[in-house]
Structure formats: structure tokens, C-alpha cells
Amino acid sequence: MSKSKHSEVKLVMGDWNPNIGLNSESQACSMFGIGEGNDCGEDFTSRCEQIVLIITNTSFKDRDSRLNTWKSSGDWTQNQIDYICVNSRMRNSVLDCKTYPSADCGCDNQLLVAHV
């Protein structure tokens, strides 16, 4: 990230497994997270703040089923642990970010899509 030019678009996606939670006070995320945050979530958001990334999953209000990215077997536990991030100057280019629970990905993670 440090070797990229300031003018380049940075789009970072991954299954990092932090729980940011609903009430994160980070500037990297908005108010539409789900669940409770943990230490990994705090580390993740502080890293995003350092490199000026916005976590797009938390920027759009939707049903919890469209916000969670992982379900345990039996659908008892749901978390938002996969994220799509963009540099802050590109925040307005992301029109929507949500999961598609009905997509068959062959794993316990949900398909996460951002409309840019």
C-alpha cells in the first residue's frame, strides 16, 4: 500500500475474520455493522485508518441477512467478518455493498459484492 501512488484507486477485499461490530467509533467504518466488535476488529479498523481506507460493508443500511458474511452451520451464529475497503477519496464511487445469501459458494461464507 505504501508503494502505490496517491492517485491510484485502492480496492482491498478479504476474509480477515475481525468483528467490527455495530458501535465502532472508527473513522474507517460507518454505523451499519452488525454484532459486537472484538480486539481483532479494533486492530483492523485502526489499520484501515492508518492507510486511509473506508470499510464499505458498514456504509449501507440493509437487513442483517444482507450484512452478515458468515453463518455457522445451523444458522445460529452470524457475523460480518469479510470486508471490502476502498481509499477514502473513492467513498462516493461505491454505490452499494451487500451479501447474496442465496449464492452457492461452496463454503460457510456469503458472497459479498460491491457495486462500484
Confidence check: pLDDT of 114 > 90 = yes
For the chain, what are the domain ranges? 11-115
pLDDT in tens, 47-106: 999 989 999 988 898 888 888 888 777 767 788 889 999 999 899 999 999 998 878 777
What residue has cell string 445460529?
76
pLDDT for the residue 86:
95
Helix, strand, or coil (residue 115)? strand
pLDDT for the residue 75:
65
**14/23: higher pLDDT:** 14
Q: Where are the beta strands (DSSP E) in 3-92?
A: 11-15, 53-55, 70-71, 78-79, 82-87
13: Cβ contacts below 8 Å, ≥ 6 apart: 82, 83, 84, 85, 112
pLDDT for the residue 46:
92
Give backbone dihedrals phi and psi of 107, rounded to 5 degrees, phi first.
Answer: -150, 180
Domain 11-115 has CATH 3.40.50.2000: no
At residue 12's C-alpha, the angle toward residues 26 and 38, to 5°, is: 40
Helix, strand, or coil (residue 103)? coil
* CA atoms of 100 and 67, how far apart (whole Å): 9
